[in-house]
Amino acid sequence: MQTNESDLYYTDPDDSNSVQSKETFDSGIANVDVHDTSIPQKTTEEVLVANTTEADATSTSAPQTTLEEISDSNRSDTEYNTPLLLMPATEECDTTGSPDVQPGQDPQVSAKKKSWLKNIFRELLIYAAILLVLFLGINLVLQNSIIVSVSMNPTLSENDRILIYKLAYKFGHEPQRGDIIVFTPPEHVHSDSDYIKRIIGLPGEIVEIKNGYVHIHKPDGSTITLEEPYIAEHPNYTYTSQPIPADSYFVMGDNRNHSSDSHTGWTVTRDSIVGRAFWTVWPFSKFGAASNYNLPK
């Protein structure tokens, strides 16, 4: 086994030709440290006396603190220097910073308040949806109309309000003689408003007005004379119609002498009928079912 020379020999820095072994070099250093007579040595007794003198001097110059004072000091430090302890958040506490939880407020009360508000909001949405459905349904089935003329006096007067049943003739039910209907008048009448009249003549019939009465000539050759207790007065004119076309109707106002109706030469097609008068809403004196009259067929 080979050994590095640097581990065994040391060179004297003052003499380039001198080489010492490591053990000799270390021994020399130890001898200098321990036995150097140029450094004054103190005995053990002298060291103990010096230490005792220094301790007495320190205790004499420093103020003395009793056990009681130390105890009070520790208590004061504990009272004023104790760090603030933060309580951990629990499931009942609202840690989201919600404004619903106020300082000192019970989280359970806040949770109940939120639940109550949610229930109220849900109920309002349900009621709003129901009202919307009802509104759409009512507008699909019924129409609110205001009477703007005197042609249906005395049955209906100006400013009376009625409900029109728009599905009256949508499911196979045929218009009947005596029904009060709302319809869109023919184009040649030049009216932007719907009309309201009573059905007098049916398809295939001929209507004759003379001597203040309405006579119906039926396709089978028979004739009927209408008894009309609802009219304001008997008509003071004479008129005979052409045979009424299929799916068309002869209409007249109850105020016979003040009504623009079929006695001026036109009829109402079925597809132009908006609906049948269903209910009188206003005035309260007329509140109830509309005055549709069952006339002979």
50 strand-pairing partners: none
Distance between first and last Cα of the chain: 142
> Looking at 18, 145, 193, 197, which residue is catalytic?
197
Q: Is 224 helix (H, G, I), strand (E, B) or coil?
A: strand
Using an 8 Å Cβ cutoff, are 252 and 200 in contact?
A: yes
Residue 230: alpha-carbon gap to chain centroid:
52
Is 151 a residue of the active site?
A: yes
Using an 8 Å Cβ cutoff, are 148 and 193 in contact?
A: yes
> Looking at 145, 151, 241, 248, which residue is catalytic?
151
What's the CA gap between 71 and 50, in Å, rounded? Answer: 33
Per DSSP (E only), the strands in the chain are 9-11, 19-21, 142-146, 161-165, 180-183, 195-201, 206-210, 213-217, 223-225, 239-240, 248-252, 268-269, 273-282, 288-289
CB atoms within 10 A of CB 175: 19
The string of DSSP codes covering 53-110 is HHHHHHHHHSPP--HHHHHHHHHHHHHHHPPPPPPPP-TTS--S--TTS-TT--HHHH
Is 112 a residue of the active site?
A: no
Using an 8 Å Cβ cutoff, are 139 and 275 in contact?
A: no
Residues with a known catalytic role: 151, 197
